[in-house]
Amino acid sequence: MKFSLPKPSSEWDDQSIELIVGQLLRIGVLLSAAVVVLGGIIYLVRNGHVIADYTTFRGELSTLRNFDGIFHGVSLLSGRAIVQLGLLLLIATPVARVIFCALAFLIQRDYLYVIFTLIVLAVLTYSIAGPSLH
């Protein structure tokens, strides 16, 4: 998989932007999948012998519901925390796409699309962070 940005002197045309966006999404999804698989393997190696109890629903640990807890768990090589990190990377992938598109439109001096993209980014950010703001 070859990844290259357009030369600064060349124009950022629609085709080169689409190629970069495609590569960004592909890399984001593959990276997040690899992190989730790694976390799953670590979790199964450490907890595979435990018999699952499905009579009561237990949500994710409260320590794995915020960034600090997830990063602390990753530093301890917790399988669950690494899976959570992979899911965060998966969520961050389309956010990174929108940010990249805003920058690309800015470079192209297409200010109308910059405004639309920033609105999409605001809606996306609110949909992710909004529930925690209430």
Residue 2 counted as domain residue? no
* Residue 89 covered by a domain: yes
* Phi, psi values for residue 42, rounded to 5°: -60, -45
* Structural domain for 86, as ranges: 15-133
Q: What is the mean pLDDT of the chain?
A: 86
User: Which structure tokens are listed for 48?
Assistant: 């595979």
Residue 70 counted as domain residue? yes
Do 36 and 87 contact (CB within 8 A), yes or no? yes
64 inside domain? yes
Does 9 have pLDDT greater than 50? no
Q: Determine how many CB atoms are found less than 10 A away from the CB of residue 24.
A: 18
The alpha-helical segments, DSSP class H, found in the chain are: 14-47, 67-75, 79-107, 111-133
Assess whether pLDDT exceeds 80 at residue 8: no
Expressed in angstroms, the distance from the first to the final Cα of the chain is 43
Specify if 1 maps to a domain.
Answer: no
11-33 pLDDT tens trace: 677 788 888 999 999 999 999 99
- Tokens at 103, concatenated: 């920058």
- The domain total for the chain is 1
Q: Name the residue with higher pLDDT: 99 or 130.
A: 99
The whole-number pLDDT of residue 88 equals: 93
Asked whether residue 8 is domain-assigned, the answer is: no
Domain contains 5? no
Let me know if residue 48 belongs to a domain. yes
